[in-house]
Amino acid sequence: MTETQRGAAIETMFEEVRRYPPDPGFTANANAQAELYELDFEELWAKESQRVTWFEPWKTLLEWEPPYAKWYLGGKLNVCFNCVDRHVEAGKGGKVAFHWEGEPEDDRREITFADLQADVVRFANALKELGVGKGTPVGIYMGMVPECPVAMLACARLGAPHTVVFGGFSADSLSDRLNDMECEVLITQDEAWRRGTTVPLKRNADEALESSSGVKKCVVLRRTQGEVSMERGRDVFWNEIVEGKSDDPQSCPCEPMDSEDLLYLLYTSGTTAKPKGIAHTTAGYLVGVATTHHYIFDVKPESVYWCAADVGWVTGHSYIVYGPLCNGTTSVMYEGTPDFPDKDRWWDIVERYKVDILYTAPTAIRSHMKWGPEHAERHDLSSLRLLGSVGEPINPEAWIWYRDHIGGGGTPVVDTWWQTETGMILISPLPGLTTTKPGSATKPFPGIDAAVFDEQGNEVGPGGGGYLVLRRPWPAMLRGIYKEHDRYVETYWSKYPGVYFAGDGARIDEDGDFWLLGRVDDVMNVSGHRISTIEVESALVDHQEVAEAAVCGRMDPTTGQAIVAFVTLKGGAEGSPEKLAELRNHVGTKIGAIAKPANIVFTPELPKTRSGKIMRRLLRDVAENRPLGDTTTLADPTVVEEIRDRGTTDQTEE
Ligand code: WT7
């Protein structure tokens, strides 16, 4: 049995019997009606393409030459026009696009679609002056400020593909991404607010730009007014370059883009040290995210929708920016952390804006659970009508807690499975239609052909576990890994020819509902964020005193998984609490704070096979405090015993 099968077999023993059938009142008014499942997938995606305004209609729905799909061929459109201009033209310029709330209290802005248009046009005009045009790659390294979506939309308006780099990433991570995409312009801000302190984004950017010489211009938004150094000829302030620029949409028309033109790259961790530049294009992506946003979140014209993710992740791209804006939805956008200044900040926001749809991650739900329901109880959350979850498997206790304590016991909970690569939600209940089960993402979205395969590629029937696959293309699917064709084929399309391999374990139950079981490769999921074991290992080995490192995930009650590192120091040196802190910080500098190991176990040797391969399975057993599996192939079986002794005594909590 392989390691992954073993993992799946353990988890399939668990059975959840609670059922939540839809409320008939909800069903009667739901956006999704049963007919949606009856449409043939081509009919469905042809019909849903009408959600989008086309400058020129598409001619061919789909061209599928595995592993590359093209959608809506021959069509011309612009994403910014669809997300902004057309709503203003339709007379909805006065509708709020974002209720933006800064982390410092009372720092609030109400941004209507007309405001958004004016800001985007002015900024696009400024970018044009800096030399940005159709096809110019632009990097964006910002916090949760309204100017981040403004920058993305301005790029889309000009036809300039962007890559947003999450503000928690380090200078090294930023420069890797800027270099890979060959960005010519970087948009950043002085500092970002985080839990009452500041994150020095411009300082990180300066460091990144030392090794990203292709970036000729750097735009700096003033957010905290913190001091920054500006390089003459390269750095310009946002407020200065927009000064005097026209906000008339005619002064900067939306560039007509081809359906398959690149909209953005978003980098995500894989099983090697180098992040993958996942490519998303224009038409299919927009149709996919707008359609799923409409049906899965049951968004109404009067809705106040809040996706509490960060724009720096795909959830923010698809379900804070492109999906909701395409649908003309009013959203909440919040800059800070859930516990600043107090643990009821989110519930204060829900109450004040009368949020009816909340979309967040299990790790956040578990934090709120840990803090206790009293924080939510202090607020009137009766506006909430629907709750969503994304990022990792949600444990049934958290699901129930979310429904009961946040949703007042009556709101549907939609557990949505998808990935950076899929661009849009692929497996999820449809509220009003689906009987939900705590912990199950339930059914593939209409038109999506998901299945569970065994090692040999046979479809696993009800009750069985295996690997999640997708057998048919979908509009928002990735169009490849930027500049890495072979890696694209190898990662997603080689395990089963012609079939997309998601890298997740899954189980399918008697009703055909899917239960996601976590990653089956060397990818960890910490607080809903993907981090590869090899990336962290490379960062550790990069430290001058580290001889060898092996990294794996262990279960963690709040973050889902936590990172455990096994480290051998050079010259047989012993570890110390100071060394531990130093190594954690080193990983923080190389990748970002999210990748810092929760535990580091210093060990004189790592367990290896006789041919010298590190036995990761054994390290995972140690990290999880499990009985050790087969050790017969080990070169020196005593090593792992020693590590285990250290592992249980040396672990240092965050
Ligand atoms: C991986 C994708 C998609 C936005 C956030 C993460 C895990 C995601 C679920 C879910 C179980 C989930 C998977 C997937 N995942 N949603 N509802 N249930 N697992 O995007 O960083 O690309 O990570 O997150 O393992 O492969 P990402």
- Say whether pLDDT at 4 is over 50: no
Look at residue 373 and tell me whether its pLDDT is greater than 50: yes
Ligand 1 geometric centre to CA of 618 (Å) = 26
Looking at residue 611, its pLDDT comes to 79
Which atom of ligand 1 lies at the shortest distance from residue 421's CA? 22
Give 275 Cα–ligand 1 centroid separation in angstroms.
16
| pLDDT value at 339 more than 80 | yes
**What is d(CA 56, CA 54) in angstroms, rounded to the nearest whole number?**
5
Atom of ligand 1 lying closest to residue 416 CA: 17
**In a 3-state reduction of DSSP, which class is residue 514?**
strand
55 CA distance to ligand 1 centroid (A)? 34
pLDDT, one tens digit per residue, over 256-303 is 999 999 999 999 998 888 999 999 999 999 999 999 999 999 999 999
The rounded Å distance from CA 392 to ligand 1 centre is: 5
Pocket test of ligand 1: the residue of 504, 517, 523 to mutate, having most ligand atoms within 8 Å of its CB, is: 504
How far is 264 from 45, CA to CA, in rounded Å? Answer: 22
- Which tens digit of pLDDT belongs to each residue from 128-186? 999 999 999 999 999 999 999 999 999 999 999 999 999 999 999 999 999 999 999 99
- Residue range 324-350: mean pLDDT, rounded: 98
Of 185, 182, 181, give the one whose Cα is nearest residue 155.
Answer: 185
| pLDDT score of 8 | 43
pLDDT at 565 over 80: yes
Name which residue sits closest to atom 1 of ligand 1, judged by CA: 419
Model pLDDT, residue 7: 41
Q: Which ligand 1 atom sits nearest the alpha carbon of residue 420?
A: 22
> Confidence class of residue 647 from pLDDT cuts 50, 70 and 90?
low
In the reported structure, the alpha carbon of residue 106 is separated from the centroid of ligand 1 by a whole-number distance in angstroms of 34
Strand partners, 213: none
Dihedral over Cα of 590, 593, 595, 600: its sign = positive
- Token couple for 169: 């990433």
Inform me whether the pLDDT recorded for 612 exceeds 90.
no
Q: Residue 530 Cα, ligand 1 centroid: separation in angstroms?
A: 8
Residue 430 CB contacts under 8 Å (≥ 6 apart), including other chains: 30, 32, 36, 295, 296, 414, 443, 445
- Closest residue (by CA) to atom 5 of ligand 1? 391
Q: Helix or strand or coil: residue 519?
A: strand
Report CA(519)–ligand 1 centroid distance (Å): 9
pLDDT one-digit tens code per residue, 414-428: 999 999 999 999 999
What confidence score (pLDDT) does residue 616 get? 85
pTM of the model: 0.94
Q: Mapping DSSP to helix (H, G, I), strand (E, B) and coil, where does residue 19 land?
A: coil
CA of residue 401 to ligand 1 center, whole Å:
21
Q: Which residue's C-alpha comes closest to atom 17 of ligand 1?
A: 417
Domain locations in the chain as residue ranges: 523-650
Res. 645 pLDDT band, cuts 50 70 90: confident
Residue 350 has pLDDT above 80, yes or no: yes
How many A from CA of 619 to the centre of ligand 1? 24
Residue whose CA is at the smallest distance from ligand 1 atom 19 = 392
pLDDT tens-place string over residues 20-46: 999 999 999 999 999 999 999 999 999
pLDDT digits (tens, 9 = 90+) for 381-398: 999 999 999 999 999 999
Mutation test of ligand 1: which of 278, 392, 413, 481 has the most ligand atoms closer than 8 Å to its C-beta?
Answer: 392
Q: Is 594 helix (H, G, I), strand (E, B) or coil?
A: helix
Separation of alpha carbons 423 and 405, rounded Å:
30
Query: For residue 608, what pLDDT is reported?
Result: 87
Structure tokens at 279: 């490519």
Residue 5 has pLDDT above 50, yes or no: no
- Percent of the chain whose predicted confidence (pLDDT) is above 90: 87
**Local confidence band at 6 (pLDDT 50, 70, 90 cut-offs):** very low
- Contact present, 353 and 334 (Cβ < 8 Å): no
Residues whose CB falls within 8 Å of the CB of residue 429, separated by 6 or more in sequence, listed in order: 296, 412, 413, 414, 415, 436, 441, 442, 443
pLDDT at residue number 14? 61
- What average pLDDT does the segment 595-613 reach? 90
Cβ < 6 Å from ligand 1: which residues? 268, 313-315, 390-393, 415-420, 441, 502-504, 516, 518-519, 525, 528-530
According to CATH, the topology of domain 523-650 is GMP Synthetase; Chain A, domain 3 (3.30.300)
Tokens of 637: 């079986």
Question: For residue 108, which amino acid is it?
Answer: R
